[in-house]
Homo-oligomer: A and B are copies of this chain.
């Protein structure tokens, strides 16, 4: 009646050795679990999450300035199953939550005259950027800034909360998750991404070691810890696999693109290779899933409309990998063209139609800026199965 996906009985993601001991058919994860068993499991990983899993993208970035405690809190309050953090380092080696090290658009840094001379141009993963960068600030300096809405032209209402929250450190988020987990009597799941890990390692600011240290300090370094680690660089995921047992997924960018660590190491493979069975099998040797862009699940035509699904869901499941594609947003401008309604790009289109199309492919979860909508859509999908 209240359509809370959490309350609904349904499929849960269970991977690997742990799954083999369960009646997988009854759990409805036959394909995934059997495949994982074929591959010898993944070190006993078990993502005990509802399926489809609703991932609060940067918290609730549809409603709050992204990557703030306010954004994470609302995601949790709305019932998101797992909440995303992106990690970048400070000059003094602390991990903070920002989608990019370039914080020009997501903080009030440009209004701080004392930091005017930190504005600079640098090349990050081959892209030239001009602005302010976290690696040029100490944590104490960053803490004097306040977060603001990244895309105010699209999300004016979120600007109401500009200036309200600090840039959170990842450790603050771990403490918040512990506190909220105790209060609710169940763990708060975190979905943690290393951003530009090769670039930062080149600056002497490797991300994986301090991340692993924090995960160990907060008891989230185990195969069954309520955390999923993610990176667009397979090398970072492999490095994390050597440091902690925490579950991991490899993010995949659009067709034809190449992970930056492949670019640097001369690995010739692109996303096109990684989504083929050999590429998937390789990723399954060090990760439990993939996070492809939604276009790799259902490509769009020249007009931006959805075409036919690819075989990626079937092929990844055959390798025991779960799929958590990104990103669903309710606004017309971000929806496939077939789900836009009316002429206002920032009005909501038929988000439920788009969610239904993606869920129907068999994906295991989805990143969404609007986890409340995603939860209702997931409940619809579960009820119809």
Binding site for B on A (CB under 8 A): 1-4, 69-70, 73-74, 77-79, 156-157, 159-161, 164, 172, 176, 330, 342, 344, 347-348, 351-352, 372-373, 376
A348–B77 contact, CB under 8 A?
no
Partner of A78, one of B4, B69, B77, B161: B77
Known contacts A77-B77, A78-B77, A164-B376; is A330 also within 8 Å of B1 by CB?
no
Given A1-B69, A160-B351, 8 additional A-B pairs, CB 8 A? A70-B376, A74-B372, A77-B78, A77-B79, A156-B348, A157-B348, A160-B373, A161-B376
Nearest-neighbour CB distance to chain B for A183, whole angstroms, equals: 9
Q: Report the bound CA distance from A79 to B184 in whole Å.
A: 14
Q: Report the bound CA distance from A157 to B63 in whole Å.
A: 12
B157–A70 contact, CB under 8 A?
no
A348–B159 contact, CB under 8 A?
yes
Q: Report the bound CA distance from A161 to B69 in whole Å.
A: 27
Q: Report the bound CA distance from A207 to B3 in whole Å.
A: 30
Nearest-neighbour CB distance to chain B for A173, whole angstroms, equals: 11
B73–A4 contact, CB under 8 A?
yes
**Chain B residues in 8 Å Cβ range of A352:** 160
Give this chain's copy count. 2
A156–B344 contact, CB under 8 A?
yes
A70–B330 contact, CB under 8 A?
no
A348–B160 contact, CB under 8 A?
yes
Nearest-neighbour CB distance to chain B for A363, whole angstroms, equals: 21
Nearest-neighbour CB distance to chain B for A100, whole angstroms, equals: 24
Nearest-neighbour CB distance to chain B for A96, whole angstroms, equals: 15
Instruction: Give me the 9 closest cross-chain CB pairs, A-B, nearest first.
Output: A160-B348, A157-B348, A2-B73, A156-B347, A77-B77, A2-B69, A77-B78, A1-B69, A160-B351
Residue pairs across A and B with Cβ atoms less than 8 A apart, 30 shown, are A1-B172, A1-B176, A2-B69, A2-B70, A2-B73, A2-B176, A3-B70, A3-B164, A4-B73, A70-B376, A74-B78, A74-B372, A77-B77, A77-B78, A77-B79, A156-B342, A156-B344, A156-B347, A156-B348, A157-B330, A157-B347, A157-B348, A159-B348, A160-B330, A160-B348, A160-B351, A160-B352, A160-B373, A161-B376, A164-B376
Name which of A78, A157, A159, A347 has the most chain B CB atoms within 10 A of its CB: A157
**Chain B residues in 8 Å Cβ range of A78:** 74, 77
Which residue on B lies nearest to A331, using beta carbons?
A: B157
Which residue on B lies nearest to A350, using beta carbons?
A: B160
Which residue on B lies nearest to A176, using beta carbons?
A: B2
Nearest-neighbour CB distance to chain B for A161, whole angstroms, equals: 8
Name which of A1, A161, A172 has the most chain B CB atoms within 10 A of its CB: A1
Q: Report the bound CA distance from A77 to B4 in whole Å.
A: 11
**Chain B residues in 8 Å Cβ range of A348:** 156-157, 159-160
**Chain B residues in 8 Å Cβ range of A79:** 77
**Chain B residues in 8 Å Cβ range of A77:** 77-79
Q: Report the bound CA distance from A352 to B4 in whole Å.
A: 30
